Structure 1
Amino acid sequence: MSHFSIRHVAIGTRVSKLGVSVLLAAMLSACVNYAGIHSDKQIARPEQFETASSLPAEQGRWPAADWADQFGDAQLKALIAEALQGNPSIDEARARVVEAQAYSQSAKAGTLPRVDADYSLTRQEFSGSTVIPPPYRGGWQTENKGLLSASYDLDLWGKNREAFKAAVSQQRASEADDEMVKLTLSTAIARTYNDLARLYALRDIAQREVEHREQIDRITAARIATGLDTEVERKTAQANLTSSRGSLAVLDGNILTTRYQLAALMGRGPDRGQAIARPALDAGDAVRLPDNLPADLLSRRPDIVAARWRVDAITHEVKETKAEFYPDINLSAAIGFDAFGFGEFLNAQSRTISVGPAIHLPIFDAGALRAKLRGRYAEFDYAVAAYNQTLIHALSDVATQLAQIRSSDAQLVEAEATRQSAEDADKLAITQYKVGLTNQLTVLNADVTALNAEQSVADLKMSRRDRQIELAAALGGGYIDTSADAVRSEDMTAGPTEAAIARH
């Protein structure tokens, strides 16, 4: 890249307004341009999607930050709070926020004047055959130089300002990412805790099944004594009893494994999981979607908010890159002292002063700036596509969780009726088996049917609660983007996004 530069070293140099205008016009006509480089991509608006049927307005409430309290288990609340205190995933997210804040502060510094103080001490032997006058020629001299300098980029085209705005938007995206990590972690703990509750419920069923099959074994032994059954039925009863005890042992192992999973999610060692008590979860609140979906979802899902801020950031980065096509004018001034030796260093004769502008204009850069701008637009297109995909996923997520909950409700009605009928049939079969009115096969079939029905009810209840947890997360988990008003609505949602980039 070639550079066009003008430096004024002496005070008092004057250039007329007409001369400056002619000079700027000549420079602008000669500089590289970004004609033909643009994008027609724009972020999706929620009203573009058909959601009236899948996301009905039900006058429900948005989840609060303490959404897990609805299940009435103080231990779950405590586990989530503990996990959010010292989890490595949270620490990573917070470190990224601090990094983004530092970058934002650095970008802001580029919009302000800069003042520096420099001092140098140089011991040098000068050549005896140069223009250096005696007595310095051909001898060793010590040069003392101290300068106080100031510089300020006029930023006529907004390059530094756009860089600062982009950095602020990236910082806000990082903050939203931090909230998304917290929500994801809280959701994972709640779901794993709910799975622990499911395993305990299944263990209760398995324990009752062991007791039930011990009863069948005793009845079979009594029937053998009266000649109603043979050793075949006795061995069959004992095999079923042994299998039930094995199932109980499997559940005990799964419970311990799930405790370790919870400890890992909390950022703790496995011993912490052993101290977790049995869950005592309630059914939770009634499920009703809030009104004004999906519009309000845009500011309540951290992942959508982060994606939107990234679109805003790259929008400013495109403007910043466009500004690089125009002349860059920097004002600088310096005052100080420069002398050989120490005796004359602070004398008036050693004073040095400089002031003037420096102008940089890209004239021929072999296409480097145009390539950079095309790359920025590619990043912009990617950010817009990522935002649109995030929005689509969020809407689908809410609709899916709601549909699963409604399906679970319908299945539970049928499953409860099935369980009751199977339990009645099992009791009747045992009674008839005792008095010799039916055989062991009928009893075992009724027992298996009752066992499956009871397990199905337990699984459905826990699955429904799992969907409730995921629905709370899908609705943002109580998060609200308090900085959303900082994103200009006309730049982000109205008309082609390219128009927003072009205005600067």
Structure 2
Amino acid sequence: MKTFNLKGAPSLPFYCRYRGQLSIALVLTALGGCGFSGLKPQSRLVDPTGVEQTMADSTVPLSPAAWPTTDWWRGFKDAQLDSLVNEALADSPSLRAAAARVHQAGAFEAIEAATLLPTADAKMSTEREHFSANGTTPAPVKGTWQNIDQATFNVGYELDFWGKNRSAVEAAVGRRHALEVDEHAAALMLSASIVQAYIALHNTYQQLDVAQALLNQQQQIEKLTQQRFAAELGTQIDIKQSQASLPASRAAIAALKESIELDQNKLAALLGKGPDRGRSIARPRLQASDTLTLPTHIAAELIGHRPDVVAQRWRVEASGHEIDVAKARFYPNVNLTSFIGMQSLAFDTFNDRSSRIVGFSPAISLPIFEGGRLRGNLDAQDAAYDMAVENYNQTVVDALRDIADQLASLRWLKERLSEQNEAVATAQAASDLVNKRYGAGLATYLQVLATQNATLAEQRRLVDLQSRGLSLQANLSRALGGGYRPEIATPTNVSPTLADK
């Protein structure tokens, strides 16, 4: 049987020397497990359901392979947009900040992982000390000044019987995974913001085309009015009315050009660049997708394709391990420490064999009375777990609503576009007819003005609807996760240790 001789103590079997302490530790361990009885989380994870009927009603074709790709914005077939998104993903300060948070979480994980390993250090000291003549120090040292020289190599290790340190490491891993997924979520939001800002710029350019076409038409009508007046078919009032509309149209064009510059500034800021970068952004050449498809099993696979959902799931996992850490604090801590070195009152004997010192010290500590601190800590961790679960549940609900919103809008957009195209055609035909009658002297300028305004309003609505179609296409890709594929396994269930929570 192995024995230990500690600092000259008589050699005894280990269990004999610590039998009493071990018995007490076992009893206290059993009592420690009763300290957190009655405390457990209250929340439960929801299953993502409730989009099947919405998908069926959307009239969008279904396909198992219809999840967006990681470069989903290329579906708009605009090389400049592709370049802008890639530039933003490479240079954005917000993404660099997200990467720094992941780096920091990795460092915290390494700190926690260090608790699973032994610690070792070396110490060396020299001390000048006067020993009491009336203390426990024997002669001839008592009452004298002495130099105490000491050098030791120390090793320590905490026996993680209750999994406290392992759970802390798992919690740190979960938090790091959550931040890694947050980085993907930030990239998705950035790319989606750039696409939406680019669509807004595209819309402004199209509105400018409509306003410019109206101005050109008004200028032609003004010339025609001058000709009518020369032919004694009109009056000065008609001329003034035709001229009055021109400044308002030019002002509208100036406002749209202002909006173009503001959109360019917004895009430059999203790129992490100054406004001069925005001035180099040319007119967009976006193309709407001819066909849209949906994944077949959105509800079942959503938790693996939406980075915000995946990140919240990892936070639930990390919170579950934090509960394990809080529970383990009710049990004894078992630490082993040892040292070996040299100690001498005289430096000339420091290297003598007789100056050796060796020590081995197992230590067991258990909280007996701490005023409810441990129960309060566990209760707080249970509440943190409940919050993480409910945040996850809300994220799932919001994700499902987000998808349903895009599908509902897409379902009605086709009908709205059909009706709006008809409205534009009708208004344009009415305007052309009135213009011809005006040229022939059979209509008044007020009729011309009324049909112009009606046509302008319908054309603007059509442009807005066409831009909305592009926006919905982008939003659907974002709502479906923007091509996210987890590089690490997504936790599909709570930690096994959470089964009893």
On whether the aligned pair clears a TM of 0.5, the verdict is: yes
The 1:11–1:316 alpha-carbon spacing in structure 2 relative to 1, beyond 3 Å, is farther
Specify the code of the residue in structure 2 equivalent to 1:406.
Answer: R
TM-fit CA distance, 1:327: 1.1
Structure 2 counterpart of 1:215: 220
Counterpart position of 2:3 = none
2:414 pairs with 1:409: yes
Which residue of 2 is the match for residue 500 of structure 1? Answer: 499
Task: Spell out the pairing of 1:243-258 with structure 2 (5 A cutoff).
Answer: 243-258=248-263
Residue pair 1:39, 1:498 contacting (<8 A) in 2 also: no
Supply the AA of the counterpart residue of 1:172.
Answer: H
- Counterpart for residue 51 of structure 2: 51
- 1:434 maps onto 2:439 in alignment: yes
Equivalent-residue separation in structure 2 for 1:101 and 1:404 (angstroms): 42
Answer yes or no: is the 8 Å Cα contact 2:50–2:400 preserved in 1: no
Task: Show the counterpart of 2:26.
Answer: 25
Offset, 1:408: 1.6
Aligned residue for 2:38?
A: 36
Q: CA deviation at 1:237?
A: 1.1
Separation in structure 2 between the aligned mates of residue 291 and residue 127 of structure 1, nearest angstrom: 86
Partner Cα separation in structure 2 for residue 353 and residue 121 of structure 1: 18
Is 1:319 the counterpart of 2:318 in the alignment?
no
Checking the alignment, whether the CA contact within 8 Å between 1:145 and 1:339 is kept in structure 2 is yes
Distance change (3 Å), C-alpha of 1:399 and 1:227:
same
Q: SS where residue 294 of structure 1 aligns? A: helix
Matched, 1:451 2:456: yes
1:316–1:501 CA contact under 8 A, matched in 2: no
Contact 2:316 2:494 survives alignment (8 Å): no
Render the CA deviation track for 1:142-187: whole Å, top value 9, x for unaligned.
3222111111111111100000100000000010111111111110
Q: CA deviation at 1:400?
A: 0.4
Residue type of the partner of 1:52?
E
Give the letter for the 1:74 counterpart: A
Deviation at 1:342, TM superposition (A): 2.6
Aligned residue in 2 for 1:3: none
Residue 123 of structure 1: CA displacement? 3.2
1:1-43 alpha-carbon deviations (Å, 9 max, x no partner): xxxxxxx765845224975663233223554611111123211
Q: Does 1:419 align with 2:424?
A: yes
Please tell me the residue identity of whatever aligns with 1:27.
L
Correspondence for 1:398: 403
Is 1:290 aligned to residue 295 of structure 2? yes
**Runs (5+) with no aligned partner, structure 1:** 1-7
Classify 1:285/1:299 alpha carbon distance in 2 versus 1 (closer, same or farther; 3 Å): farther
Q: Which moved more, 1:255-264 or 1:136-145?
A: 136-145
- Alpha-carbon distance, 1:289 to partner: 1.0
Change in CA separation of 1:155 and 1:12 when aligned onto 2, cut-off 3 Å: farther
3-state secondary structure, aligned to 1:144: strand
CA deviation after TM superposition for structure 1 residue 134, in Å: 5.2
Q: CA RMSD in A?
A: 2.1
Shift of 1:286: 1.8
CA, structure 1 residues 444+296, in 2 after alignment: closer, same or farther (shift >3 Å)? Answer: same
- 1:491 is matched with 494
Contact 2:268 2:275 in 1 (8 A): yes
Relative to structure 1, the CA distance from residue 145 to residue 498 in structure 2 (aligned partners, 3 Å threshold; closer, same or farther) is closer
CA distance in 1, matches of 2:478, 2:188: 7
Instruction: State the Cα distance separating 1:139 from its structure 2 match.
Output: 4.6
Aligned AA (1:244): S
- State how far apart, in whole Å, the 2-side matches of 1:39 and 1:58 are: 39
Matches within 5 A, 1:62-81: 62-81=67-86
Partner Cα separation in structure 1 for residue 383 and residue 107 of structure 2: 26
Q: Tell me how far apart the structure 2 counterparts of residues 137 and 333 of structure 1 sit (CA, whole Å).
A: 29
The alignment covers a number of residue pairs equal to 488
Per the alignment, residue 181 of structure 1 pairs with 186
Paired with 2:338 and 2:179, the residues of 1 have a C-alpha distance of 38
Cα deviations across residues 299-357 of structure 1 (Å, max 9, x unaligned)? 11110001000000010000111011111111111111122343222221111111131
Q: Partners in 2 of 1:232 and 1:190 — Cα distance?
A: 48
User: Kindly, what percent of the aligned residue pairs are identical?
Assistant: 36
